[in-house]
Amino acid sequence: MMVAGEASAAALTHIGCVRRQNEDSVLLQVDDGKVLAVVADGMGGHAGGAVASHLAVDAYARRWDARQHGELDSLWLCDVARAANDSIRQQAAADNALRQMGTTLVAALLAGGQLHLAHIGDSRCYRLRHGILEQLTRDHSVVQQMMDDGVLTAAQAERSPLRHYLARSLGSQAVVQIDSASMPVQAGDRLLLCSDGLSNMLPAADIAAILSSAGDSDAACERLLGEALAHGATDNVSVVVLFV
């Protein structure tokens, strides 16, 4: 567990029960009362997914370690995401085996009593506040678009063969649209960043119950991962939990 001021944070990633390789990458950094958390879920087959997700989190790690913070906010998160997109595309162009690689990204920054977010793809950020779980990010997926258009219901989306297809990801285009947001945090907030290996395995009610009852961020991570594995974990599973 890492501690920054009153906040504590923990992270776990696991290959799951089916996959042969973990294509997820996570990053958790604490510095001078600030917390940076990133989850990236790679895709592209062979080694491509793992390479793409690693490049995404490495872009943040390098900026952070070099103290290239500037104004720490959602614009900073988006700027690093775009740099990661460039890096992914450059490596894909240089190696034919990696040409289809890409990754989702959800990045969160706690600084100065604010939560800053940037995301692309279907990795998510949730907030538990006063016992109510809210998804703070909106999936960039084909089924989400179909739900928005009224073509699919939520129940139909869960069974749709298109549910794993992304509408946006890092590496997919030279210029990518990164969604961002900033909002105040409150004492007692519990934040979760996760890949779809968790959100596809556990219903929101189970996620809320675990976040509510866990004594600390380490315990929350371990229980979330444990439940995903108990449900069969058909994909890699990555979680980062922040207790404010």
What would the pLDDT profile of 109-131 be if each residue is shown by its tens digit? 999 899 999 999 999 999 999 99
Question: Which tops the pLDDT comparison, 203 or 158?
Answer: 203
Q: How far does the chain reach from its first CA to its final CA, in angstroms?
A: 13
pLDDT higher than threshold 70 for residue 174: yes
pLDDT higher than threshold 60 for residue 237: yes
Nearest to 194 by CA among 161, 154, 223, 160: 223
Q: Is 136 helix (H, G, I), strand (E, B) or coil?
A: coil
Rounded mean pLDDT, 130-138: 97
**Residue where the block lists tokens 């996760």:** 194
Structure confidence at residue 110 (pLDDT): 95
Task: Select 2-243's CATH number: 3.20.110.10, 3.40.50.300, 3.40.50.280, 3.60.40.10.
Answer: 3.60.40.10
**Per-residue confidence band for 4, with pLDDT thresholds at 50, 70 and 90:** low
Question: Which tops the pLDDT comparison, 31 or 190?
Answer: 190
Q: Note the pTM of the prediction, 2 decimals.
A: 0.93
Instruction: Please state, in angstroms and rounded to a whole number, the distance separating the CA atoms of residues 183 and 189.
Output: 12
pLDDT higher than threshold 80 for residue 156: no
CB 69 within 8 A of CB 76: yes
Structure confidence at residue 45 (pLDDT): 65
Q: Name the token pair of 33.
A: 């009362």
**Per-residue confidence band for 7, with pLDDT thresholds at 50, 70 and 90:** confident
Burial of residue 78 (number of CB atoms within 10 Å: 0-12, 13-18, 19+): buried
Instruction: Please state, in angstroms and rounded to a whole number, the distance separating the CA atoms of residues 228 and 225.
Output: 5
pLDDT higher than threshold 90 for residue 162: no
* Residue % of the chain over a pLDDT of 90: 77
Question: Which tops the pLDDT comparison, 46 or 37?
Answer: 37
pLDDT higher than threshold 70 for residue 25: yes
In the beta sheet, which residues pair with residue 193? 125, 240
Structure confidence at residue 147 (pLDDT): 75
Number of neighbouring beta carbons within 10 Å of residue 58? 16
DSSP assignment letter at 107: E
Structure confidence at residue 165 (pLDDT): 79
Structure confidence at residue 157 (pLDDT): 67
Query: For the segment 47-98, what is each residue's pLDDT rounded down to a tens digit?
Result: 799 999 999 999 999 999 886 556 789 999 999 999 999 999 999 999 998 9
**Per-residue confidence band for 191, with pLDDT thresholds at 50, 70 and 90:** very high
Please, what is the average pLDDT of the chain?
A: 91
pLDDT higher than threshold 90 for residue 217: yes
Rounded mean pLDDT, 187-215: 97
Kindly list the domain boundaries of the chain, sorted by start residue: 2-243
* Residue % of the chain over a pLDDT of 70: 92
In the beta sheet, which residues pair with residue 39? 26, 106
